[in-house]
Structure 1
Amino acid sequence: MSSLSEDLRSLWSLRRLVGVLTRREFEARHAGSVGGILWAWLPPLLTVFAYYLVFDVVFAMRLGEHAPTNRVGAYRIVGMLPWMAFADATQRGMNSLLDAGGMLQKNPLPPAIFPARSVLASSLVFSPLIALLVPAYMGAHHFGRGVMAVLPLYVLQVLLCFLLAYLLAVLAAALRDVVQVIGFLLSIGVFLSPVLFPATMFPERWRWVLWLNPMSAPVMGYQSALLKGEWPALEIWGVMGVWLLVLVVLLNMAVSRSRDQLVDWL
């Protein structure tokens, strides 16, 4: 793990630079528009409002008795916000090295800075929105002890996004087709997760497929914390831990093998 450890030490030593770059990327995403940085929050907020209006108000759709809540809109909002945060951070982080190719060729900066910058900038958008779910769902969780799990769940989600985005950024530098493949997988991945429907609605013999999606465990954790006020089950933390461990191993291999060629690929 020496290659990845070296990158992480470099990130820590350059944490102020990472902070400056993160702020600049966050501000640059909507620079020049009348609404400014408000456009960072409007799309996810409008999406959440549309889910509530269509599923809970207009059609008043209901889930089965085994769901953590019977309201479809309330259920999907809890899963969709973390999914949007994951998809945004992963996609932007995956493209970060390609976008910074010219800078890396001129400056001997650690490559890890750029996926870290993209993932942290994305977290500046979605972390306050996910935090707002805690008081918004007060009637569901009644501030049970499980609601405190939202913070560690989101911290682990950000870490997962960084590891995955950095791995994909290295692979995309070597093979540009990775960008198209991952874009497609992110578009269909929401259907292979408990975001739209509870896991109990999937055929039991195929339920294991959900665990192949890195966001299934975090989404189930948010649902348990926000919809029932219960601490997520041990298997949820275990699956997240396995995903993090696998990504650490794969990323270390990718970083060590691409160390001498990465700039040339870009």
Structure 2
Amino acid sequence: MFALIPQLTAVWRARSLCGVLIRREVSARYAGTSLGVVWAYLQPCLTVAAYYLVFDVVFAMRMGAGAPTEAVGTYLIAGMLPWMAFADALARGMSSLVESAGVLQKNALPPMMFPVRSVLASALVFAPLLLLLVVAYAPLHGFAAAVLAFPLLVLAQTLLCALWGAVLAILAAALRDTLQVVAFTLSLGIFVSPVLFPAHLFPAGWEWVLWVNPMTPWVTAYQAVLLQGTWPPASAWLGVFAWLAAGAVLLEVLLRRCHDQLVDWL
């Protein structure tokens, strides 16, 4: 990783500046509102509450045999909140370089600091909410030992978004159409994942399509921990490591090939 490691080292050395930029990004999103950064946490919480109210309370919908839980809303929330965190972090990371073009053109800053900043700003909001799911789902998992895997999964998801957010940020700098293509893909990606339905309901012979979605391993792992109190299956861990490794390798290749031209593209 002869190109990636120096970038990460430069980001680490500028961690104080990065911390300031993270706080400014979070506060700037809701500047001028009466509730301020509270909106960052309130919106996901209201979405989760709506799922629970509609599916579990109003309609009292139940899932069929073979599902990890009976209540539809309870099942949806376990995958929907991680998906919301993933989509938000990836989208913000992808647009970070384009939005910071003026700063990068005038200052000798490590370009990778900006995708990292945006992803960490998103994680600052969603990571605490994801960890709160452990408490909210306690009646189902009973604080089994498998819960210890949950913080590791949240950390790995943040790393996933940082790697792939940086990859997409470089591609967006080279070709602005990347922003539109990925935004459209994220709007459809939730339907090709086990977020809305258990994986066993996917058409036979097409299950592999689910694993093209990078969030499938994470959603499968979250559901195993929260809904069943069991350790994530080996297939989920394998998918996690595969997507992290693929992101690191692709980012290394892109940094090697276009590091000198990156600021010019902006």
1:11 is aligned to 2:11:
yes
Q: Distance in 1 between matches of 2:237 and 2:118?
A: 25
Contact residue 137 and residue 227 of structure 1 kept, 8 A = yes
Q: Distance in 2 between matches of 1:14 and 1:67?
A: 47
1:213 is aligned to 2:213:
yes
Counterpart AA for 1:256:
R
Counterpart AA for 2:151:
L
Q: Distance in 2 between matches of 1:12 and 1:204?
A: 46
Counterpart in the other structure of 2:86: 86
Counterpart AA for 1:151:
P
Counterpart in the other structure of 1:59: 59
Structure 1 residue 31, shift from structure 2 partner: 1.1
Q: Distance in 2 between matches of 1:176 and 1:21?
A: 24
Structure 1 residue 103, shift from structure 2 partner: 0.4
**RMSD of Structure 2 on Structure 1 (CA):** 0.7
Q: Distance in 2 between matches of 1:126 and 1:204?
A: 34
Counterpart in the other structure of 1:75: 75
Q: Distance in 2 between matches of 1:108 and 1:138?
A: 48
Structure 1 residue 234, shift from structure 2 partner: 1.4
Instruction: Tell me how many residue pairs correspond in the alignment.
Output: 266
Query: Where in structure 2 are the equivalents of 1:1-266 lying within 5 Å?
Result: 1-266=1-266
Q: Distance in 2 between matches of 1:147 and 1:230?
A: 8
Q: Give unpaired runs (5+ residues) of structure 2.
A: none
> 1:185-226 deviations in whole A, cap 9, x for unaligned?
000000000001010111121011111000000011110011
> 1:151-185 deviations in whole A, cap 9, x for unaligned?
00000000000000000000000000000000000
Counterpart AA for 2:89:
A
Counterpart AA for 1:222:
Y
**Matched position secondary structure for 1:188:** helix
Counterpart AA for 1:18:
C
Comparing 136-145 with 14-23, greater Cα deviation is found at 14-23
| TM-score when normalising by structure 2 | 0.99
Q: Distance in 1 between matches of 2:61 and 2:98?
A: 43
**Matched position secondary structure for 2:36:** coil
Structure 1 residue 28, shift from structure 2 partner: 1.1
